[in-house]
């Protein structure tokens, strides 16, 4: 294992920890707010009828922002490693866990009253649909494999990177499968945009013409 | 000389690493919530 892979694994590991910490904080904070009726307020100059449970005003935004940062760390690194790539499942994890809360509290209101809280049940239906419907794509073995058992990205399959500009050591070699007009057009574009100097353009054009003559 | 791990071994190892990360994250989230919100 090289140093780059080791660094990626470390960042991926930390990112995933932050994501699942964030999701857990959002899940628990939402439950704490629902325990007191589903709405609260914190701070500001007004008289607050229902103050937020201790800590939730800080934990909720912390969970959301931290979770997004962790998800970015995870997405960037896991896409370059083999194995599970669960980035897209974060959407379902968020909406299904919050949908669970809506269903649980909608069916068993926290104030002990009998009956259903339809407002929360409707939210539960919407959230479970938003989180659950994308999971139907897992029925496709290709999608499931890509999410849970992906191959490492094939470096040779990447499009060639155009290496021209100040760091280039010489005029770019034309792609062998370009037609003559395409190759000349490409060189002309590079020349016009300043990526190729007059001299480099002249040499490259000469090479293209010689290669195809 | 040791052989480099196969692709399947790599994938399985990284899957376990990710599972551990998820469990650690959930545990950390519960712990943080208990510390800050008191339960």
Q: What digits encode the pLDDT tens for the residues A193-210?
A: 888 888 888 898 888 888
The radius of gyration of chain A's CA atoms, rounded to the nearest angstrom, is 28
pLDDT value at position B1? 47
- Interchain CB contact of A86 with B (< 8 Å): yes
Alpha-carbon distances, residue B32 vs A17, A21, A28, A31, B38 (angstroms): 13, 9, 10, 15, 9
Interface confidence, given as ipTM, is: 0.90
Question: Are A20 and B10 within 8 A, CB to CB?
Answer: no
- Summarised one tens digit per residue, pLDDT across range A84-140 is 999 999 999 999 999 999 999 999 988 877 788 999 999 999 999 999 999 999 998
The alpha carbon of residue A130 is apart from the nearest alpha carbon of chain B, in Å, by 22
What integer best gives the mean pLDDT of chain A? 86
Nearest CA-CA partner of A200 in A156, A176, A164, A167? A164
CA distance A14 to chain B (A): 7
Q: Which stretch of A3-7, A47-51, B2-6, B28-32 has the lowest confidence by average pLDDT? A: B2-6
Residue whose token pair is 């054009």: A205
Per-residue pLDDT band for A178 (boundaries 50, 70, 90) equals low
Lookup result for tokens 């669960």 = A86
Q: How far, in Å, CA of A5 to CA of B17, rounded?
A: 14
Residue A46, classed as helix, strand or coil, is: coil
Q: Are A211 and A174 in contact (CB under 8 A)?
A: yes
pLDDT for res B7:
85
Asked if the C-beta of A32 comes within 8 angstroms of chain B's C-beta atoms, the answer is yes
- Alpha-carbon distance A190 to nearest alpha carbon in chain B (angstroms): 41
For tokens 């339960």, what's the residue?
B39
d(CA A84, CA B16): 10
Per-residue pLDDT of B1-39, as tens digits, reads 456 667 889 899 999 999 999 999 999 999 999 999 875
Residues of chain A above pLDDT 70, percent: 87
- Global confidence as pTM: 0.73
Q: Would the pLDDT of A161 be above 60? A: no
The number of beta carbons lying within 10 Å of the beta carbon of residue A167 is 6
């Amino acid at each position: 294992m090289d140093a780059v892979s080791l660094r990626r694994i470390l960042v991926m590991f930390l990112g995933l920890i932050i994501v699942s910490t964030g999701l857990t904080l959002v899940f628990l904070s939402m439950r704490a707010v629902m325990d007191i009726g589903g709405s609260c307020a914190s701070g500001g100059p007004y008289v607050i009828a229902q103050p937020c449970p201790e800590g939730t005003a800080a934990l909720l935004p912390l969970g959301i922002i931290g979770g997004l940062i962790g998800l970015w760390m995870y997405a960037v690194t896991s896409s370059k490693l083999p194995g599970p790539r669960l980035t897209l499942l974060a959407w379902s994890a968020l909406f299904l866990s919050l949908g669970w809360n809506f269903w649980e509290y909608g069916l068993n209101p926290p104030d002990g009253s009998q009956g259903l809280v339809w407002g929360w049940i409707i939210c539960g239906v919407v959230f479970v649909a938003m989180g659950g419907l994308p999971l139907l794509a897992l029925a496709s073995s290709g999608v499931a494999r890509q999410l849970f058992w992906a191959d490492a990205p094939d470096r040779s399959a990447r499009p060639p990177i155009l290496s021209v500009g100040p760091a280039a050591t010489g005029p770019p070699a034309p792609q062998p499968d370009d037609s003559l007009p395409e190759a000349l057009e490409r060189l002309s574009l590079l020349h016009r945009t300043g990526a190729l100097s007059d001299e480099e353009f002249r040499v490259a054009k000469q090479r293209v013409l010689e290669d195809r003559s | 000389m040791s052989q480099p791990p196969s692709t399947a071994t790599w994938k399985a190892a990284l899957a376990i690493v990710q599972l551990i990360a998820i469990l650690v994250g959930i545990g950390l989230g519960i712990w943080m919530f208990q510390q800050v919100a008191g339960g």
